[in-house]
Amino acid sequence: MIVLKYTLYGYNNIGVKLKMIYDCAVIGAGPAGLSAAINLAQTNRSVVVFSTKEEDSSIYRAPEVNNYLGFYGVAGKELLRAFYDHAKKMGIEIVHRKVINFYKSGDIFTINANNEFYEAYSVILAIGTPKKTLLENEAEFVGRGISYCAVCDGMLYKGRTIAVIGEAIEAEEEAEYLSELAKKLYYIPLYKKNEFHFKDNVEVILSRPRSVYGEDFVNALEFEDRILNVDGIFIIRKTMPADQLIYGLEFTEDGHIKVDSKMQTSIEGLFAAGDVVGRPYQVAKAVGEGQIAGLSASTYVKMVKEKQK
């Protein structure tokens, strides 16, 4: 079965060019996300999957998986590639873009993927293990000097001194953009690389930061051996934290997204599956929850479309 890929375009009420409405947008292309997409396709729903690089997935880095039925001793990256191949053979559209945020208006979700906009009747979050804060006091200063999106908040720091902490090499693009705005930029990579090529106003620091300080707003970033005076800090993660992707989500006490037995979150039409909803962090659990989320989203979309008739 081939899933239709929309090629016609329309415009939303603020003049942004949009693809036609998908039945479901899946954010995350690990076992949970791809399982959800496959089950949506099986029910003849149009689906788009947003994915970062395959090697960013925790399963990709597993040297061996022994507890997924029928695949004893398989390398994690081989198992993940098998999942990808399955999805591609079913015609599922996989977009390699980082989702910055999304919101719901009426029955429609609008997804901002690196400033390319998509619309869908439903969304499934399958973004993996919840990210713990990187810095001491980080949560306290979100929105008060700490940001996770350069394009969203960069202009607020024009002519100022900022730090950019990058989890992966893709963060260099956002650092380059911010260096055009900032008076001074400190770039702090959390990955291994020998050479960096930035503008003269960029200083690369190869130490790991520990804490952030300030009063009403951020004013300092602390390392083991130094303190930097900064006006803002951008933490560029591989995926955005769930509470920054969309507002209104409810979480469990241990930081996972709260869902019901249908994998429905606190926001109608938004589902979640896999590590992001709780332990154990296992492939089999993620695949099963992805199936439930996909089938639940399919049922939800049917209800929405019937309501619109």
pTM of the entire predicted model: 0.87
Question: CA-CA distance, 137 to 146, in Å (whole number)?
Answer: 10
The answer, yes or no, to whether residue 14 has pLDDT greater than 60, is: no
Q: Is 5 within 8 Å of 91 (Cβ atoms)?
A: yes
Locate 123 and state its tokens. Answer: 């969304």
Residue 128 CA to its chain's centroid (Å): 9
Sheet arrangement for strand 218-222: 211-214, 218-222, 227-229
Q: What are the tokens at 277?
A: 């909803």
Structure tokens at 74: 């398989």
What was the pLDDT predicted at 61? 83
Residue 151 has pLDDT above 60, yes or no: yes
Helices (H), 111-241: 150-153, 171-179
pLDDT of residue 53: 79
CA distance 162 to 141: 14
Which tens digit of pLDDT belongs to each residue from 60-99? 888 999 999 999 999 999 999 999 999 999 999 999 999 9
Average pLDDT, whole number, for the chain? 91
Q: What is the mean pLDDT of residues 147-173?
A: 94
CA-to-CA distance for 107 and 96, rounded, in angstroms? Answer: 25
